Chain A
């Protein structure tokens, strides 16, 4: 089912990104930020729940959001690689969130007009939430980039490390091109300029350098992941797999 495959991509991006953020719970640099990271995580996991539930419904084989989240193998996940990279230090987490949230806001703003009405509704809700994520992470990019020598260095290093994972967010394939033609999905390539402009504007204010586009990592949409996803899934899925059907 092409539509459910597409919904898995959207759902998995948020599930894996949300899980990485949840790892900060109890470890945030200050209490307010601990709470903020947990809240952003909650928004993303909530969006993933709605999207995966819809994916299961469109697939029509009785799979729910829970079965999709907890009982798939790594090779069946369709998230972009940038989502699964280990959380790193606070600068790394913040930089990833900023790069992803700006993309997400641009994408969801357009996905609100999808001809698939449930998807349009989920996107409209998620868009409002992600605007807060983008603003919040942009605030931190300014504080860290234009902060101390150490915070600047750590943030620029994170930007340089993450940049080669940003290309995958804009990748289109036959599946999504077809869904764009049907008015269901959004053309990712068309968002590149707007994303770059927004990122550049914030980086300039944050005294950070925008890297040149070079080699870009890819593979997540086809289930080719980094080694890090397996470790993440082991932790995320262990309880559901050890006690199938458990309720709490």
Chain B
């Protein structure tokens, strides 16, 4: 077993340059799914935690990380899948939330609702402002959208649907 050390900045920068293929304004580091980048001898090891169990982007992300690190001079690369701690949208930084909004996707509001009642029979009181006009007169259309991580909302003021990166 070779001792592991924190990876050099150029390797971290390479990983920071990898964008989420589905949401190309966020890097994999902004998303919080990269848990560690370290060097074990000649190998750069990256710990990645999945966003959703079935997210098809995860494999693309692993390939993109490997390519980026090789381009930055890594001799060999290993991408590990780790399950602890479990990913939450709470890890998305303020700055990244702002970029999401500018891109047209409403960022997650508040914190992940893991401790709420399993099935609230009263409709949720969650307010999700429209990322385009800022209106708070919006309504949930479906908790499931174009990707696993997004819900479909509707802005009454714009009379248009928008996407919401749902808290999880």
- The complex places the Cα of A14 from the Cα of B84 at a distance, in Å, of 22
Which A residues are CB-close (under 8 A) to B88?
Answer: 128
A118 to B112 alpha-carbon distance, docked (Å)? 22
A128 engages B121 (CB within 8 Å): no
Which residues of chain B are near A43, meaning CB under 8 Å? 52-54, 148
- Chain B residues with a Cβ closer than 8 Å to the other chain, count: 28
- Selecting from A87-95, A197-205, A211-219, the interface stretch reads A197-205
**Cα-based distance from A120 to B82 in the complex (angstroms):** 12
A240 at the interface (CB under 8 A from B): no
Question: Which residues of A sit under 8 angstroms from B55, Cβ to Cβ?
Answer: 46
Contact A201 B53 (CB under 8 A): no
**Closest chain B residue, CB of each to CB of A205:** B121
Number of A-B contacts (CB under 8 A): 95
> In the assembled complex, which residues on chain A have CB atoms less than 8 Å from the CB atom of B54?
42-47, 49
Main secondary structure of the interface of A (DSSP, over half): helix
Q: Which residues of A contact B114 (CB under 8 A)?
A: 128, 131
| B interface, over-half SS | loop
- Chain B 119-144 against A: per-residue CB contact (8 Å), 1 yes, 0 no? 11100000000000000000001111
Interface hits, A129-169 → B, CB 8 Å: 129, 131-132, 134-136, 138, 142
Q: Which residues of A contact B56 (CB under 8 A)?
A: 42
* Top 10 A-B pairs, shortest CB-CB distance: A46-B54, A121-B83, A46-B53, A36-B144, A42-B54, A39-B144, A124-B86, A32-B142, A47-B53, A138-B119
Interface residues of B (CB under 8 A from A): 50, 52-56, 82-84, 86-88, 112, 114, 118-121, 141-146, 148, 152, 166, 168
Given contacts A44-B54, A128-B112, 19 further A-B contacts (CB under 8 A): A36-B142, A36-B143, A40-B144, A43-B148, A46-B52, A46-B54, A102-B119, A121-B83, A122-B83, A124-B83, A125-B52, A125-B86, A128-B168, A129-B148, A131-B114, A134-B119, A135-B143, A202-B119, A202-B121
